[in-house]
Amino acid sequence: NAGVTQTPKFRVLKTGQSMTLLCAQDMNHEYMYWYRQDPGMGLRLIHYSVGEGTTAKGEVPDGYNVSRLKKQNFLLGLESAAPSQTSVYFCASSSLGEGGEQFFGPGTRLTVL
Amino acid sequence: KNQVEQSPQSLIILEGKNCTLQCNYTVSPFSNLRWYKQDTGRGPVSLTIMTFSENTKSNGRYTATLDADTKQSSLHITASQLSDSASYICVVSASKDGNNRKLIWGLGTSLAVNP
């Protein structure tokens, strides 16, 4: 039982490049989330999903897209990376929605030059 | 505006000592309050979740209290260990409508436990 896993762990991009971050969970959770964490700021919700095939915008969705084709996977895409997207990205999952306990992955540290 | 404020911003204590971290919030309508521990370079891990009717909850050496009237919570760590060195984040869930909720994250208290 691995919980929530994220790939890659680290990535450096040049401005304008694209990439996809993968999140996988083996707890059969319905809800999945993508957050970003920046110095001096609390975690901010980018996008979330309440079930397979569904996605919704969070607090800071601009510049990101997501997909939830399979229940266990939640993908975060950056189509044209910008330096402002330099951050640590965390994926989380839960069985009860935002009111319930969320289980987090180890994070992906992304640097955009 | 919904806000969660934590104090102190950082704290250094000696191994074996106790400490208390504070969380004040202005979140309405309140749903629940949780404390997370985040080790450096790792994702947050849930310590406790408390609803409006709960005023204390323990998880091993961690004890959280909640005063819904004053909108304050504290996290007390007993007999600290080196492994307690981490950031402790207070998160308040605001109930939007029905089961739809929003999480408001604090900035965390950075705790260093020295030998």
What confidence tens digit (pLDDT) does each residue in A12-35 have? 999 999 999 999 999 999 999 999
Q: In whole angstroms, what is the distance from residue B87 CA to residue B100 CA?
A: 28
Strands A103-104 and A44-49: unpaired
Average pLDDT, chain A: 94
Nearest to A43 among B34, B42, B105 (CB): B105
CB B37, CB B44: distance < 8 Å: yes
Q: Indicate yes or no: CB of B43 within 8 angstroms of CB of A42.
A: no
Give the Cβ contact number of residue B54 at 10 Å. 15
Q: In whole angstroms, what is the distance from residue A91 CA to residue A32 CA?
A: 7
pLDDT recorded at residue B100: 54
Residue A62, C-beta contacts closer than 8 angstroms, at least 6 positions apart: none
Q: What is the dihedral of CA A108, A80, B106, A32, to 10 degrees?
A: -60
pLDDT recorded at residue B60: 96
- Decide if pLDDT at B103 tops 90: no
CA distance, residue B58 to nearest chain A CA (Å): 16
At A67-106, the pLDDT tens digits run: 999 999 999 999 999 999 999 999 999 987 666 789 999 9
Q: What backbone torsions phi and psi does residue B39 show, to the nearest 5 degrees?
A: -75, 155
Average pLDDT, chain B: 92
What average pLDDT does the segment B77-93 reach? 96
